[in-house]
Amino acid sequence: MNYKIALIRGDGIGPEVVNEAVGVLDTVAEKYGHTIEYVDVLLGGCATDAVGKSYPDGTAEKCRACDAVLLGAVGGPKWGSDKPAEQRPETALLAIRKDLGLYANLRPAVLRPALADACPLKKETAEGGIDLMMVRELTGGIYFGQRERYNTEDRGVECADRMAYSEKEIKRIGRRAFELARLRRKKVSSVDKANVLETSRLWRSVMHRLAQEYPDVQYEDVLVDNCAMQIVRDPGQFDVLVTENMFGDILSDEASMVTGSIGLLPSASIGDSAPGLYEPIHGSAPDIAGQDKANPTATILSVAMMFRYSFQRPEEADAIERAVDEVLAEGWRTADIAKPGERVIGTREMGEKIRERLKSKG
Ligand code: NAD
């Protein structure tokens, strides 16, 4: 196959981890007979420095002309909240997701077998295994609602953020979750706050209707506060968790921490027609940028998700995930996942080890 991939290297450790992931893409292409064309796309703080805005004109069009987008990370203290919105990297991230219609954010939280002892939960909980997929609605809800700030006579300044969801928005994300569950362990847990919020009551009723269409998938409602508790008590009970934007933002960070390191977790943001966007969940880590210290594994596993969800090539995805697991099982560690006294390797060597494993298989 021929693939065209947009590369948003971004800021901080972004370019370093993307380099290693591109090496993995090239290795997979060679091994499975694909050709890959790369298109560099400027976005984030580096774009502000180069052209004065973090989301240069034409960015979405460039990405739309590709089959998938790989993003490192954007942001850093240089482009902080004192800068105008159009110069801030976060503005660009929200804009690209919205412009490409990427309404579903998929974040697997998997405890990799070789790193079970990095799990901060009880030993017996970790031994039960963690392999859940968080499906977060990404383009609606309170993060995109109307904001208000006004003075009152007796209460000082008052602010409001509007949270709105339509049946259409809920249905499309719900369908994604049920379809994904069919490829996994066939269980969907829908997270809401239906005992308080009207948006959640609508969410729940739409999910119940969808559940009827998927009788082969086990379905349950979970209140968001209970879900936060269950993720640390017994994460092994979950397969696919689906929830709205803000709940998903918070719960996905919680779920990622129970698996050990932020440097290991990939994500995918997908829509109905535009190319999917694949990125590690971590940020630009300015504290270690340019020092060959970043763990490239999350970005490499994001490439595995790209093969699985954008290219429908599970074989390549499995091969990348297996190579990562084998390198970890052999004991290779970047600083973020090393225990005291363990030998530490850098970003480039970790990438190289994973590529070697990929090459050496069948
Ligand atoms: P961060 O994820 O960048 O870093 C948090 C901690 O984790 C740091 O100590 C860092 O060194 C470490 N870390 C992160 N990724 C690592 C990796 N691959 N290997 C080893 N260690 C790693 O979060 P932060 O410090 O809150 O944010 C830094 C910048 O990144 C901010 O400007 C923030 O806005 C931005 N950010 C961007 C994205 C994105 O591009 N999608 C996401 C989150 C944060």
Q: What is the pLDDT of residues 290-311, one digit of tens each?
A: 999 999 999 999 999 999 999 9
Ligand 1 atom nearest to 295, measured from its CA? 19
What pLDDT is stored for residue 175 in this prediction? Answer: 97
What pLDDT is stored for residue 115 in this prediction? Answer: 82
Distance (Å) from CA 288 to ligand 1 centroid: 9
**HSE value, Cβ hemisphere, 13 Å, CA-based, for 31:** 19
Q: Can you list the residues of the chain whose pLDDT is less than 70?
A: 361-362
What pLDDT is stored for residue 81 in this prediction? Answer: 80
Q: Is 21 exposed, middle or buried (0-12, 13-18, 19+ CB in 10 A)?
A: buried
Which residues have CB under 8 Å from 178's CB, separation 6+? 188, 210, 211, 213, 214, 217
Ligand 1 pocket: which of 13, 262, 279 to mutate (most atoms <8 Å of CB)? 262
Q: What is the pLDDT of residues 118-130, one digit of tens each?
A: 788 888 888 878 8
Q: From atom 6 of ligand 1, which residue's Cα is the shortest distance away?
A: 285
C-beta of residue 280 within 8 angstroms of C-beta of residue 264: no
Cα 139 to Cα 191, 198, 310, 341, 347: the distances in Å are 17, 19, 19, 44, 33
Where in 207-302 does DSSP place strands (E)?
218-223, 240-243, 266-270, 276-280
What pLDDT is stored for residue 362 in this prediction? Answer: 57
C-beta of residue 334 within 8 angstroms of C-beta of residue 4: no
- Judge if the beta carbon of residue 141 lies within 6 A of ligand 1: no
Token output for 312:
């429908």
Distance (Å) from CA 172 to ligand 1 centroid: 30
Beta strands 104-110 and 218-223, pairing class: unpaired
Q: 155: which DSSP letter?
A: S
Residue 73 backbone dihedrals phi, psi, to 5 degrees: -165, 155
Which residues have CB under 8 Å from 263's CB, separation 6+? 280, 282, 294, 295, 297, 298, 334, 336, 337
Ligand 1 pocket: which of 16, 43, 264, 282 to mutate (most atoms <8 Å of CB)? 282
- In the annotation, is 318 catalytic? no
- Judge if the beta carbon of residue 80 lies within 6 A of ligand 1: no
Q: How many other C-beta atoms are found inside a 10 Å radius of the C-beta of residue 137?
A: 26
